[in-house]
Structure 1
Amino acid sequence: MNGLGPLLRQRLRRDRLQLLLWILGTALLAYAGYAGVSQSYGTFEDRQNVLAAALANPVILMFRGLPSGPAEGAFVAFEVLPWLAMLAALMSVFLAVRHTRGDEEAGRAELVSATPAARVAPTIATIVHGVLANLVLGALTGLALAATGLDAGGSLLMGAAAGATGVAFLGIALVAAQLMRTSRGASSLSVWVLVAAFVVRGFGNAAGVAGDDLTHLTSAWPTWISPFGWAEQTRPYDADLWWPALLALGVGLALALTAALLQSARDLGAGFLPERRGPAAARPGLRTAHALVWRLAAGSIVGWAVGAALTGLLATTLGSIVDQVAGSNPAVAQILEKIASSGSLEEATVGVFFTMLGILAACCAVQTVVRARQEEAHGTAEALLASAVGRVRWLTGYLVVATCAVLVVVAVAMLAAYAGIATNDGDASLYRVVTVAGLGQLAAASVFTAVTALVFVLAPRQTIGVAWALVLAGTMLGMFGPLLGLPGWSTDISPFAVTPTVSGGEVDVRGLWWLLLVIAAGAGAAITLMRRRELAGAQ
């Protein structure tokens, strides 16, 4: 096909750094997963107890893999396989949208169309590029696991399951890029499908049937409509089933080819789903630059707030269930106390769920600030800055809206948590625990607001990749560092891990002061440096 080779080389050269970070990060997580399991759950009895506790508590099954026995390798898959698949899926989504709808918005696709390259050559090159990236990710992940001494066959299957999930979401994102008219819309649709697939997988496991040995689980049918569920059904180091991975691979390739057919049937820059017509005149509330930013970000803020409300409600309504399960099996307490160093199980449960809340709020903040880079790259910021709106005022608008968005997300979660305490006649002391945890995660999420703004000012073309990489690193260190047995200093790098907590009735402020210092320094530096920064177009 004309132009396929040069287009593929251009994509590989353009993405070499980002793909290196995604692939190495996934392989390192797999290796660290084995290290954490061998250190924290080194005996057969330890792993058996944890699996029994997971089968007794659907909440654990929502955020872990499919129990497939207490063998060391199978337990590693239970701990980290969903998250390896999640990394591959995110990598593939961003790759697909960047090289399809993103190139159309930036004008690069139009330039390619003016060459002898075939009409669908860019899409085909993106498909090959994405499949190769997931192939390397799966191979290195499998080799990292095999290097620990685990069975080579199970290790390669686990890597293949993660890579096949990435290919499935590559196809989903490519179709989304054909349906939506903007890269923002394509990314949002793809990520929402990803989140829904992950949640559906969790519900399928939570509604499954436990085996007689209390170490295996047969998932319910919802698991089979999710690519993440297909990855788990491979059961590495146990049944070693390859066909679910091949199913994910086949579905991904079928969707990718569908996207190529859709590409050939539409006009450049158009989408199959029409955009909603806006009003002829703006309402009074849109007269300021701040209001415009809020209008652009409102939809995504509502979505993050809904997730935060569910998180807050679960934080306080599941405490009694966890307490009952731990009364007969201390494994649940061991898991929670590794993540949140709290004095009681209910405090630990709130700590776990509010750490997830902090991650949701940070994602909301980053998505809001990153819009400034998207507006700049698309050329719409130039028209706004040609008016009476200055650079500093323009960037400040995004910082203010991002801060308000974080406040909304955290406040909704706290209100939902308070409602959970009131409706379940919970311990009144939990009100204080929720308040401290919520305000602490507010500070943690605000760190990412300030740092993303600073990256936008200093390295605008790297804003999106660096900002999301920082959130991912903070999540892995703060959420999974203790479970994986990582050193304390590495876990404390994550803002999510050093927020104030209530332990035994006492408030431990921990890293609150340095979080506030980073927020003030980062936001101040970004605003100051923005005074002399010129607009930076798309690459």
Structure 2
Amino acid sequence: MTDLVPLLHARLRRDAVQLGLWILAALALAAATVAGVRGQFPTTEDRAGLLAAAIANPVILLLRGLPSGTDEAAFAAFLIAPFLLLLAALMSTFLAVRHTRAEEESGRADLIAATPAGRSSPFAATVVHGIAADLVLGGLVALTFVGLGYPVQGSVLLGLATTATGVVFLGVTLLGAQMVRTSRAANAIGVWATLIGLLACGLGNALGTPSEDLQRMRSAPLAWVSPFGWGENVRPFDADDARPLLLSFALAVLCISVAAVLQHSRDLGASLLPAPRGPARAGRLLSGPIGLAWRGGRGAIAGWVVGGLLVGLLSTRLSSVIAQVGDTVPSVQALLQTLAARGSLAQGAIEVFFTLAGILAACAGVQMLVRLRRDEADGLAEPVLAAGGGRARWLGAGVVVSVAAIVGVLGAAVGGAAAGLLTTDDPDPSLLRDAVVSAAGQAEAAAVIAALTALAVVLIPRPAALLGWVIVGAAAIVGLFGPLFGVPDAVVRASPLASVPVVSGDTVDPRGAIAWAVAVVALGVVAFVGVRRRELVADR
């Protein structure tokens, strides 16, 4: 036990900024939701109208929680619960990898294992550290809702659901880190497990059984295979049923226990899955910085492309359902207009889904540029520069692969939209045009975010990776949820995801296309000029 104290102290010092940002983001989102509900939906009739629209429209339930009545607190939980659970899951995922597989990959785990701490104490410290972070997050979420005047029991259960979901994905990622040799692969396992769980829960809610008054929804069985479904079925401020969380804690205990056994039984640096064996000699692709950057990022790009394909497929497969709702449930049209869709309901669905595809594309582009910073910090950029690549070519390689990732994700989304139309009864060919326009606009938005990340890598390299992901998160939150939170239009338009060209009726609304194009070029020029004038920074 005495070995845990210095290890925990070191982890707390190392993670203070990262965990602080995750927790502050969750609390700010919770407070903004309550303010948005009180400002945008002050009456029971307002909330009832949106709940009826959500229950009638599968798209809205994919992006929101489980409807549980018109009470203000329950309505706020419906809007925010999935995103609180998502933040807890992602925070725990990255924490688990940072202190296990990443430590082995860097060689620090060998140094710690040579001390009296041995091999078991660092793993135990990571488990305690992760659970403590989730408890702090859940506790502060509960205090936030209590402080804003909501019932104590429901607030505590919402905080407990947040904690439980974080602990589940802590365990899942700890287990995944035993399977693969690299921290990148371990992070990919955790992130994709999180996204699949979120999608399964959203689909389970969308396919559920509504109440007769269209104010509540009972989840379909699909939601019950996901930790997000377990957290949402607590129904804070309504049923206040903590029993689904027993499933979360049981799965967490199982995953952590199996991970502990595997950690103890394997060699440091080894994994259950063997590392892929490449050819004995490098091909022509690896003769330059671009080929090297592509070789390192192609696996991650493939995962983001699959995500874009699925989003595009859903955009047109569900549009036919949405188009039939407008005449019978006018609040659906009002809601989609609130989300910035100005045309038919099917066009609104295209815009919403392609905004999600734009977020995936931005994540893919940022990840490729963040890899440059990681290679620099690990000393891997020096051999590339020593081979005559030059700083500008090194940065250019990352930019080229980042652009390829953005185009690949959104191109796959357009392909998925086309496939969805081909498998839909009485398809509307104009929706493919809408998808292409939306994809082009979101490509520009993702390029802006990637350009900002590239500039951060050049000018402020040490926090550049964190800053890149913060930019993605801020743009997504403001762009997707700003109107519902009552954020001023000027602030919403500051998010490139929400101010790029879209189809409005039979015309194209250019929005900020020219301004963002100029911004991309300007940011790129500054980044390439700046990278020529700075030295490599080989530490984090």
Q: Which range, TM-score by smaller chain?
A: over 0.9
CA pair 273-422 structure 1, distance change in 2 beyond 3 A: closer
CA contact (8 A) 1:106 1:538 kept: no
Which shifted more, 511-520 or 153-162?
Answer: 511-520
Distance 1:97 1:514 in 2: 39
1: CA distance, partners of 2:3 / 2:379: 28
1:298-313 pair list within 5 angstroms: 298-313=298-313
Conserved? CA contact 2:59–2:349, under 8 Å: no
Backbone CA RMSD of aligned residues: 1.9
Q: Give the secondary structure class of the aligned counterpart of 2:35.
A: helix
Q: Kindly provide the amino acid, as one letter, of the partner of residue 478 in structure 2.
A: L
> What's 1:78 paired with?
78
Equivalent in the alignment of 2:398: 398
**Deviation readout 1:94-128 (Å, 9 max, x if unpaired):** 11111111122222222222222132211111111
Which deviates further from its counterpart, 386-395 or 414-423? 414-423
SS at match of 1:485: coil
CA deviations on 1:109-164 (whole Å, 9 max, x unpaired) are 22222222132211111111111111111111112222222212111211221121
1:386 correspondence with 2:386 = yes
Q: Which amino acid aligns with 2:19?
A: L
**Contact (CA 8 Å) 1:97, 1:174: kept in 2 or not?**
yes
Q: Which moved more, 1:156-165 or 1:59-68?
A: 59-68
Written as runs of structure 1 = structure 2, the 5 A alignment for 1:461-480 is: 461-480=462-481
Aligned to 1:55: 55
C-alpha contact 1:2 1:118 (8 A) present in aligned 2: no
SS at match of 2:508: strand
Q: Aligned equivalents of 1:43 and 1:514: distance in 2? A: 39
| Contact 2:65–2:77 (CA under 8 A) maintained in structure 1 | yes
Instruction: Look up the equivalent residue of 2:534 and give its one-letter code.
Output: R
* Alpha-carbon separation, structure 2, partners of 1:452 and 1:384: 21
User: 3-state DSSP class of the match of 1:326?
Assistant: coil
2-structure distance, mates of 1:343, 1:204: 28
Q: Which moved more, 1:43-52 or 1:160-169?
A: 43-52
Q: CA deviation at 1:512?
A: 1.9
1:322 corresponds to which residue? 322
State the 1:382 CA deviation: 2.7
2:230 & 2:13 partners in 1: Cα distance? 32
Deviates more, 1:505-514 or 1:116-125: 505-514
Q: How does 1:11-160 map to 2 (within 5 A)?
A: 11-160=11-160
Pairwise mapping of residues 509-524 of structure 1 onto structure 2 (< 5 A)? 509-524=510-525
Equivalent in the alignment of 1:528: 529
Q: CA deviation at 1:418?
A: 4.0
Aligned to 1:174: 174
Q: Distance in 2 between matches of 1:268 and 1:471?
A: 34
Q: Find the counterpart in structure 1 of residue 183 from structure 2.
A: 183
Q: Which moved more, 1:478-487 or 1:55-64?
A: 55-64
Corresponding residue SS for 1:360: helix
TM-score relative to the length of structure 2? 0.95
**Structure 1 residue 461: Cα displacement:** 2.7
Secondary structure in structure 2 of the residue aligned to 1:507? strand
- Check 1:308–1:429 CA distance in 2 against 1; reply closer, same or farther (3 A cut): same
2:333 matched to which residue of 1?
A: 333
CA distance in 2, matches of 1:169, 1:191: 9
How many pairs are equivalent?
A: 539
- SS state at 1:325 partner: coil
The residue number in structure 1 matching 2:205 is 205
Shift, 1:53, TM fit: 2.7
- Looking at structure 1, the residues matched to 423 and 325 of structure 2 have their Cα atoms a distance apart, in angstroms, of 21
Pairs within 5 Å for 1:343-382: 343-382=343-382
Q: Which amino acid aligns with 1:9?
A: H
Aligned equivalent of 1:484 = 485
CA contact (8 A) 1:2 1:121 kept: no
Q: Give the unaligned 5+ runs of structure 2.
A: none
Q: Could you tell me whether the CA contact under 8 Å between 2:58 and 2:318 is conserved in 1?
A: no
So what's the TM-score if we normalise by structure 1? 0.95
Counterpart position of 1:296: 296
Identity rate, percent: 48
> What secondary structure does 1:142 align onto?
helix
Q: Deviations over 1:242-289 (max 9, x none)?
A: 222343234324422432332222222221211111111223333222
Q: Distance in 1 between matches of 2:422 and 2:48?
A: 36
Paired amino acid for 1:494: S
Contact 1:335 1:483 in 2 (8 A): no
Give the counterpart letter for 1:243 in structure 2: R
Q: Which amino acid aligns with 2:187?
A: S
Are positions 1:441 and 2:408 aligned together?
no
AA in 2 matched with 1:472 = G
Which deviates the most, 281-290 or 25-34?
281-290
Q: Using the TM superposition, name which of 249-258 and 315-324 deviates more.
A: 249-258
Contact residue 69 and residue 216 of structure 1 kept, 8 A: yes
Task: Indicate the larger mover: 507-516 or 425-434.
Answer: 425-434
The letter for the 2-side match of 1:480 is F
In the alignment, the residues of structure 2 paired with residue 300 and residue 105 of structure 1 have an alpha-carbon distance, to the nearest angstrom, of 18
Q: Distance in 1 between matches of 2:137 and 2:396?
A: 39
Aligned to 1:212, what secondary structure does the other structure show?
coil
Cα distance in 1 for residues equivalent to 2:74 and 2:227: 19
Q: 1:184-221 CA distances to partner (integer Å, 9 max, x unpaired)?
A: 01001111111111111122222322233322222222
